[in-house]
A = this chain, B = another copy of it.
Amino acid sequence: MKPSVYIGIDLGGTSIKMGLVDQLGNILYTLESPTPVKAGYHQVLAVFSQMAEKLFQNNKYEWKDIIGVGAGVPAFLDQQKGIVIEAVNLSWNHVPLKEDLERMWKVPIMVDNDANAAALGEMWNGAGKGASHLICLTLGTGIGGGVIINGDIYHGANGSAGEVGHMTVRHQGGRSCNCGRKGCLETEASATAIVLDALEQVKGVSSGPLKEEYDKTGTITAKSVVQLAQQGDFLSIEIITKVGRILGSTLAQMCYLLNPEVIVIGGGVALAGKVLFDPLIQAFNNAILPRVAENTSIIPAKLGNRAGLTGAAWLIHRKNIGSREAKGS
Contact = CB atoms under 8 A, between A and B. Distances in A.
Interface in A244-292: 249, 252-254, 256-261, 286-287, 289, 291-292
Given A147-B258, A161-B257, A287 B181 contact: yes
Most chain B beta carbons < 10 A, residue from A167, A252, A296: A167
Interface string A153-164: 011111111111
A201 interface: no
B254 A159 contact: no
B289 A162 contact: no
A294 to B, nearest CB: 6
B294 A158 contact: yes
A91 to B, nearest CB: 17
Contacts of A135: 257
Nearest to A249: B168
A39 interface: no
B249 A292 contact: no
Contacts of A171: 171
Contact of A256 (B76, B166, B252): B166
A163 B289 contact: yes
Contact of A289 (B179, B254, B286, B294): B179
B257 A145 contact: yes
Given A166-B289, A249-B168, A156 B133 contact: yes
Given A171-B171, A257-B164, A149 B158 contact: no
A57 interface: no
Contacts of A154: 149, 258
B156 A258 contact: yes
A133 B157 contact: yes
A161 to B, nearest CB: 4
A184 to B, nearest CB: 9
A292 B250 CA distance: 18
Contacts of A179: 289
A172 to B, nearest CB: 7
Contact of A167 (B156, B160, B256): B256
Contacts of A159: 259
B258 A168 contact: no
Contacts of A249: 168
B254 A257 contact: yes
A295 interface: yes
B287 A156 contact: no
Contacts of A289: 160, 163, 166, 179
Nearest to A166: B289
Given A157-B296, A296-B157, A253 B256 contact: no
Interface of A: 76, 133, 135, 145, 147, 149-150, 154-164, 166-168, 171-172, 179, 181, 249, 252-254, 256-261, 286-287, 289, 291-292, 294-296
Nearest 8 interchain pairs by C-beta: A156-B259, A157-B295, A161-B259, A158-B295, A160-B292, A160-B259, A157-B261, A167-B256
